[in-house]
Structure 1
């Protein structure tokens, strides 16, 4: 029974450890991204489009696990700030494509360098980084498998 009591403490909750870690990552990224006038979720949109420009809003939402209710206003703000361009598909009017503007392409290197510098300051070795990514991906798969 003492194992159950140990498990039920806040400091032994995996979900809380992940929540705290996520908060720390958000702070780290927010500090870097603030100078560019973008938020962490907006940075994720840029990352997705730097990998594959011209995604539809639906494809972008699927890639980032974000609903259109969250994504649409974010895209609108990014469009107003010169990062993105949104336009209806010429082949299928129901689809809205999102493309990078020159500003996003020009700032990619600066943003990437500042983010990398900040991550390096955390003293996470590459092998440790890979191990953490593998463990987190495995945990994600297990959690997703449970929800089906």
Structure 2
């Protein structure tokens, strides 16, 4: 096989390995999140809100690397489920802020075991998982639009 053919071999693509691993990760989360009536993107939103109450929609989008076109319908569904409420900032009424509802706060307790269950599914040592996370974060940083 020529070098050009090697470069175009699917099995040699880092992007395909990352894509496949990301899809497998989301599939592995599905049964755990189904019990919470959350999709994976909704779970990510809840993780941020459990950490930061009163966050702006823009800040949430920045944290999750999602644009408002993706985030808005996701937030509407969480609001319809009674987990979050969207309001206006007291300082600037143009800014939308998010608050957990009581049900959203209570869901944190039910979700508490998810990270450990996923760690067990993925396997590997804590050091290996931290190294994998660091490599993913490094790739994200290098591929961010700010790096262009």
Contact 1:32–1:115 (CA under 8 A) maintained in structure 2: no
1:145 positional shift:
6.6
How many residues are treated as equivalent by the alignment? 148
1:80 positional shift:
1.0
Cα RMSD of the aligned pairs, angstroms, is 1.7
The 3 A distance-change label for structure 1 pair 114 and 135 is closer
Contact 2:86–2:96 (CA under 8 A) maintained in structure 1: yes
User: 2:93 & 2:44 partners in 1: Cα distance?
Assistant: 26
Instruction: Name the structure 1 match of 2:12.
Output: 12
Spell out structure 1 runs of 4+ moving beyond 3 A. none
Instruction: Kindly provide the CA deviation profile for residues 36-64 of structure 1, in whole angstroms up to 9, marking residues without a partner as x.
Output: 11100000101111111111111111111
1:106 positional shift:
1.2
User: 2:98 & 2:147 partners in 1: Cα distance?
Assistant: 30
Contact 2:36–2:110 (CA under 8 A) maintained in structure 1: no
User: 1:122 & 1:113 partners in 2: Cα distance?
Assistant: 15
1:35 positional shift:
1.3
2:120 corresponds to 1:144: no
The 3 A distance-change label for structure 1 pair 58 and 146 is closer
Instruction: Name the structure 1 match of 2:112.
Output: 112
1:146 positional shift:
8.0
User: 2:146 & 2:69 partners in 1: Cα distance?
Assistant: 26
Which region of structure 1 is more displaced relative to structure 2, 19-28 or 104-113? 104-113
User: 2:119 & 2:75 partners in 1: Cα distance?
Assistant: 26
Contact 1:53–1:99 (CA under 8 A) maintained in structure 2: yes
The 3 A distance-change label for structure 1 pair 23 and 76 is same
Instruction: Name the structure 1 match of 2:127.
Output: 127
Alignment of 1:33-44 (within 5 A): 33-44=33-44
Unaligned runs of 5+ in 2: none
User: 1:131 & 1:88 partners in 2: Cα distance?
Assistant: 40
Unaligned runs of 5+ in 1: none
User: 2:114 & 2:147 partners in 1: Cα distance?
Assistant: 37
